[in-house]
Amino acid sequence: MPKGDMKKTLSPTLAMNERVRNMVAAGKQVFRFGFGQSPFEVPAPVVAALQDNAHQNDYLPVRGLPQLREAVARWWCRTQGPAFEGWTGDRVLVGPGSKELMFQLQMVYRGTVLVPNPSWVSYVPHARIAGAGHRWLECYAADGFRLTAATLARACDEIKGPKLLVLNSPNNPCGHAYDAEHLEPLAEVLRAHPDVLVLSDEIYGELHFRGEHVSMARYLPQRTCVATGLSKWCGAGGWRLGVMLMPPELTHLADAMASLASDTVSSASAPIQYAAVSAWDMRGEVGDYVRRTRGIMAQIGRRVAAALAEVPDVTASPIDGGFYVFFQLPGSDPDWCERLLDATGVALLHGSAFGRPADEISARLAFVDLDNVDEGLGRLVDWLSHGGLKGR
Ligand SMILES: Cc1ncc(COP(=O)(O)O)c(C=O)c1O
């Protein structure tokens, strides 16, 4: 591969992270609002569990360590209510990151992937690699950038054959959550379209700022696969541990994913799986950690919203959970994020990474650079408000 093509092969978030690393190595100050990594350490009991299990060196079952699958099922039943009574570890697949499990689902299902726009960077590349085909579903600022039932119904009517709807709540890049009032109308549309499956990406579920995350699976239990993992709420992105919960009705897909995994990743790392059992208990010290960290993110989210509100003409997404806000300004300026970075050191990820048009003035801000949030926000607001953008 020619050297110059290298960057194009990285996902946009990883490419931005690398660019920022290079600037820092060159001694420049950078406000790291581009890459969405948890700013918190892994909770102490989970680190201790990993240390205690460093000696675990056997290959584990493809579907995951039985104790971990049971721990995830217990947490699920405890938090999601009566629709899932009796669910056991049989309903859980473990993998090296939820990204891999979501990709596997696309590989084995092969329906047209319906992707709200804007959306996280990897769903569409997954569809391309799986050869599944995708359709963007436009979301609007007036709806808080959430997918509406009307848009979903139109797509379901127009596109023939099996479909996989991706929903992500709390959302990356938008920071909004889908509450009951948003999920029920979507589920109503889906009940009328039995050829649609839902991939509900709930990796930020524990980071709902009011602790009120609601799973889409409650509204369409027989057809929803839920993906989550340790990366965000447990500060353990580099541990690469994800899980997927799948209903009994989709056992054939879970079997196909396990078969695919057996010939590719084999299983997630053994010590990490043992350590993850203690993480998923999510009570005691780990529960305290979750409440403390999401409280900190909620406070910062409010400061970010207040700062963006100072910029004339800005439209920002509501912030209900996770690490992000998405914002737009009217006009056209394709390379504004690069100029912003050069002029102020503020790193954002341009909206085009999430499916928005290349010349749109939009971006995702990840408010994870905790020590520098206020200074970075100040520079951003100043640059946007005082002539940084072309033609404004
Ligand atoms: C919306 C969303 N889904 C999935 C992932 C991937 O998570 P994992 O580390 O479990 O593969 C990310 C990571 O950035 C994400 O933002």
Between the CA of 390 and the centroid of ligand 1 the distance, in Å, is 33
Name residues whose C-beta falls within 8 Å of residue 267's C-beta, 6 or more positions apart in sequence: 59, 60, 61, 62, 64, 94, 95, 96, 261, 273
Q: What is the mean pLDDT of residues 218-236?
A: 97
98 CA closest ligand 1 atom index: 10
Between the CA of 388 and the centroid of ligand 1 the distance, in Å, is 32
Q: What are the φ and ψ backbone dihedral angles of 151, each rounded to 5 degrees?
A: -65, -40
Least confident range of 39-53, 94-108, 374-388 = 374-388
**What residues line ligand 1, using a CB cutoff of 6 Å?**
36, 97-99, 120, 168, 172, 201, 203, 229, 231, 237, 242
Q: Percent of the chain at pLDDT above 90? A: 86
* SS3 call for 265: coil
Asked if 260 contacts 287 with a C-beta cutoff of 8 angstroms, the reply is no
Which of 321, 16, 60, 303 minimizes the C-alpha distance to 172? 321
> Looking at ligand 1, which residue's alpha carbon is closest to its atom 14?
36
Give me the pLDDT at residue 139, please. Answer: 97
The full set of domains in the chain, from first to last, is: 3-41+287-385 (3.90.1150.10), 44-282 (3.40.640.10)
Name residues whose C-beta falls within 8 Å of residue 64's C-beta, 6 or more positions apart in sequence: 89, 92, 93, 94, 95, 243, 267, 268, 273
Asked if 316 contacts 309 with a C-beta cutoff of 8 angstroms, the reply is yes
228 CA closest ligand 1 atom index: 10
Where is pLDDT greater, at 46 or 8?
A: 46
Which of 317, 318, 322 minimizes the C-alpha distance to 296? 322
For the stretch 275-288, pLDDT in tens is 999 999 888 999 99
Q: What is the mean pLDDT of residues 143-159?
A: 97
pLDDT band at 266 (very low <50, low <70, confident <90, very high): very high
237 CA closest ligand 1 atom index: 9
The one-character DSSP state at 169 is S
pLDDT band at 9 (very low <50, low <70, confident <90, very high): low
pLDDT band at 10 (very low <50, low <70, confident <90, very high): low
101 CA closest ligand 1 atom index: 11
Where is pLDDT greater, at 355 or 19?
A: 355
For the stretch 332-370, pLDDT in tens is 988 899 899 989 999 999 999 999 999 999 999 999 989
Between the CA of 146 and the centroid of ligand 1 the distance, in Å, is 19
Between the CA of 270 and the centroid of ligand 1 the distance, in Å, is 21
pLDDT band at 21 (very low <50, low <70, confident <90, very high): confident
Cα of 297 vs its chain's centroid, Å: 16
Between the CA of 324 and the centroid of ligand 1 the distance, in Å, is 13
E strand intervals along the chain: 31-32, 92-95, 112-117, 134-138, 163-168, 196-201, 224-229, 242-245, 315-316, 324-332, 346-347, 349-350, 360-366
